[in-house]
Structure 1
C-alpha cells in the first residue's frame, strides 16, 4: 500500500508534545536519531497494518464465500491447466 493512500504528504507539520523515557531520549540523541522522522515512519507502518486489519474484517464474509465457492466448484481454468 502506498503512503499516499494513508495520509496527505503535503499536510503541514504540527508540533506535538510527547513524553519519552529519558534514557531512551539520551540514547537517541547520542546516535543522532531523528525522532520526528522515526515516529512518522512508525505511524505509517502502524496505520497500514490497522487499515489492512480493518479491510480484512470488513471483507471477511466475501472472502470466505469466495473461498468456499472455489473449494466446491474449483476455478474456471481447472480443465485447461497442464501443470
Structure 2
C-alpha cells in the first residue's frame, strides 16, 4: 500500500466559500495543509469502510466460528 504522506505534491484548483477562505486566512490557517490533512483522513476512512465492506462475509463467518467453537488454540492459553 502506498503511503500518502511522502508522495510528491501537485498543484490543483478547488472552489471554496469566499467567507470561509477570508476567515481562514485572517486566522493564519494554512489552506493547502488543512485541505490535505482533511482529505488524507477522508481517504483513510473510505479505504477502511471499503475494506470492511469487501471483507464483511469473511468477518461474519469468522465471528460465527468463534461463537460456535471458541477461539482457535484457546485450550492452550494460560492467562
TM over 0.5: yes
Q: TM-score, normalised by structure 1?
A: 0.80
Highest relative contact order (Cα 8 Å, sep 6+), 1 or 2?
1
Q: Structure 1 CA distance, aligned partners of 2:36 and 2:10?
A: 12
Task: Count residues in correspondence.
Answer: 78
Q: Structure 1 CA distance, aligned partners of 2:60 and 2:12?
A: 42
Q: Kindly report the root-mean-square deviation, in angstroms, between the aligned alpha carbons of the 2 structures.
A: 2.0
Query: 3-state SS of the aligned residue for 1:17?
Result: coil
Q: Are 1:21 and 2:7 an aligned pair?
A: no
Pairwise CA distance, 1:80? 4.7
5+ residue gaps, structure 2, are none
Consecutive aligned runs of 4 or more in structure 1 exceeding 6 Å deviation = none
Q: Are 1:40 and 2:36 an aligned pair?
A: yes
Query: 3-state SS of the aligned residue for 1:67?
Result: helix
Q: Are 1:67 and 2:42 an aligned pair?
A: no
Q: TM-score, normalised by structure 2?
A: 0.84
